[in-house]
Structure 1
């Protein structure tokens, strides 16, 4: 219990300390007019208040990641706590803040546009492909996972196909309509349900004196799966997630003041980490590793969510908790498709004020996603994890380049970027979805790849700085 309490305290303190340092390093200008006002179009560029933006950002980035990931990560034991805390403070929250604020400085641009500007034109096309793959997988995963949870609460005659159909209808509306018409209006209610469920589980851990294990670096995975690099892919959204880089630009287009960025981007990542800590702690305290592994094998993370909720909060409270969990993937799936629609529009320079042009882009995306729902969830999740963390690496290097060219402490983004680049390299070399090489060989080749890409990055960064890369969208505003 002491480890759990200290972890929560460290996360909260980080927002007021390291978060403040990251904000000061970036250098906000509160007098600068944000894209929400400068490019206001009533569809995607709509000024909204800090609290509403923060809540939307939290729901956008959360998905099932900070719940399903920590539940599966709990198999490794308390070492998962260490990754959630350190990963979110020094990697995830930095990643979210920099992508959100750099986007805000560049007309609300999405990651492919930012990668093209800061890492070279070729990267724009590479990242566009990565983002499209990631978001279509996210959208699909966040259809099937809430559908499974809803199915557990509904009569047998309500089939999965019917539930999936209703979710798709909502996603289509949320993707096409102006952001303040659906997302801006219903998210406060969804947010209340999310917070009630998460903090309800957390409170019961204290009230019932749950035997939450203390910190240990021992690998407790019952199947003997190694901590490195698997843990850093199993728990992503609760610590570091490239998916967030696709979501932050949505809110950069609705943010009213630059000063609000720390609360919206850094703060909401910390809030997500707290949610991840609660579910990881609940899973470790209520089940031993073997039991948890069997539950995941037979019913998946959704079965664990249902069991934990009922055990901790009873029938009525447990149902409310499950509903709160259902909210998470639905409120990330809708913005995953919305973000993908915006990225494609930016890539092909298609204006989005016209409803029909938004529709032409969106419909093929939903057709593809519906087809992917027929694929096993575990297969989708493996590819999602790899694409997710690869995107996080790119986003961190975009942040590092921005800070380097501005002459500021770029190590706050570069160090976590190097670490995750190494993890991604080893993962794809070692896993069956990649090259299926032995772990020792994967680690050596991964180190060579990481070093080589780092040298290339630094050479390109010096060139960009020498050319005095234009950082902001308005040349007449001092950076």
Structure 2
């Protein structure tokens, strides 16, 4: 427990130190009108209070990722907690802050437009396709995950719950953002707090401790000897660094009323998600005696089985059900905004105005039909593609953020270094994984490093600081 509290303390310290440093580098301008004010339309551009925007952002980004990912990551041992802490502070929260603030500066534009503005037309077209693919995968994953948990708590089948969740997603995707998302998310947030705090209190009063082997950070505890590199950094995405967040931040960039609120809303929400990830990683490490015991539960029912077993054991039947419901809230409140983001990206690409309901339905209905077809694939396969697509999106967004800073002669390395790291991770994984090229780890790592050198070299040569007058005009 003390190690968990120390990690949480480091995360909070990071918000008040490195978060402030990142904010100063970007340079928010409180006197500027944000898109929520200048472009208010009553549907997607709706001014909301900072507290409400923060809570919605947290629930948007905290889906199954910071629960299922850290549970799977716990198989590797305590080193997973280090990745959550340092990945969150130096990569994930930086990624989220810039994805949100660059959207604010781009009049609430979605991630493809933001990426295209800073990396060029090819990157924009690539992200138009890639972001929609990622959001569809996210939406489907965040249907199947909660459906399985709800089926465990009721007599309804998974298929019936899938249909019910899809029906809710359709409604939440097409109505104005303040009608469902802005109105009910505070209640969901209370359930989330109960789940998080309750489980840690339950763990504190139990006799559970870390794996019987102890705090050995240099050891890979994975029962099947899967390599730490690069799998840990793909397995634990949400909670450390996640490209999915770049698709969600523009939703709140369209509701935020002051640029100065960006650190609290974007950087702060990522720190909040890091705490959630630490909770579930700690539970995975502490509830089970060994990684083999955790792996046995995962083999019998996946991460959903771990959530159910841990929650009911630590909090009893009623408390466990409440905790499981808190876990169910997370993917549902991310799945609806995933499809909403996909609708907006497609609308931006097709230049279809979204104020009128029929035009929203014109995009939403075919999109959900495709999502339903994807949901028929095996969950494990969908999750692996989601993990790679997620981290690849983060890589591209970090390079776009670095380009924004470099062009303005600012300290771009705060984005360039994590972009380089994620480039090595994603290309190594693609070269090695079964969903990729299936090469051995040595060759895959070499490919990952070569691609990182190529990307970095091109970036430093192609993007140069602009003259001060051009910079000033481009920031308007």
TM range (shorter): over 0.9
Pairing 1:171–2:173 present: no
What is aligned with 1:249? 250
Gaps of 5+ in 2: none
Question: Are the counterparts in 1 of residues 408 and 466 from structure 2 also a CA contact under 8 Å?
Answer: no
What is aligned with 2:239? 238
SS in 2 for 1:123: helix
Question: What is the 5 A alignment of 1:396-475?
Answer: 396-462=398-464, 465-466=465-466, 475=473
The CA distance in 2 between the partners of 1:404 and 1:366, in whole Å, is: 39
The CA distance in 2 between the partners of 1:297 and 1:255, in whole Å, is: 43
Encode CA deviations 1:315-351: one digit per residue, 9 max, x unaligned: 1110000000000000000000000000011111111
SS in 1 for 2:463: helix
Pairing 1:335–2:337 present: yes
What is aligned with 1:113? 113
Question: Are the counterparts in 2 of residues 112 and 124 from structure 1 also a CA contact under 8 Å?
Answer: yes
CA gap 1:182/1:348 in 2 versus in 1, 3 angstroms = same
The CA distance in 2 between the partners of 1:145 and 1:104, in whole Å, is: 32
| TM-score w.r.t. length of structure 2 | 0.97
Question: Are the counterparts in 1 of residues 54 and 264 from structure 2 also a CA contact under 8 Å?
Answer: yes
Q: How many residue pairs are counted as aligned between the two chains?
A: 472
Deviation at 1:207, TM superposition (A): 2.5
Question: Are the counterparts in 2 of residues 386 and 424 from structure 1 also a CA contact under 8 Å?
Answer: yes
SS in 1 for 2:230: coil
Deviation at 1:115, TM superposition (A): 1.3
RMSD: 1.4
The CA distance in 2 between the partners of 1:34 and 1:142, in whole Å, is: 31
The CA distance in 2 between the partners of 1:317 and 1:102, in whole Å, is: 41
Could you tell which deviates more after superposition, 447-456 or 70-79? 447-456
Question: What is the 5 A alignment of 1:76-95?
Answer: 76-95=76-95
The CA distance in 2 between the partners of 1:393 and 1:468, in whole Å, is: 28
The CA distance in 2 between the partners of 1:215 and 1:254, in whole Å, is: 45
What is aligned with 1:366? 368
SS in 2 for 1:229: helix
Question: Are the counterparts in 2 of residues 99 and 249 from structure 1 also a CA contact under 8 Å?
Answer: yes
SS in 2 for 1:230: helix
What is aligned with 2:198? 200
What is aligned with 1:146? 146
Question: What is the 5 A alignment of 1:253-402?
Answer: 253-287=254-288, 288-402=290-404
Question: What is the 5 A alignment of 1:205-244?
Answer: 205-212=203-210, 213-214=214-215, 216-244=217-245
SS in 1 for 2:54: helix
Pairing 1:99–2:99 present: yes
| TM-score w.r.t. length of structure 1 | 0.96
Gaps of 5+ in 1: none
Encode CA deviations 1:213-269: one digit per residue, 9 max, x unaligned: 435121000010000000001000010000000000000000011111111100110
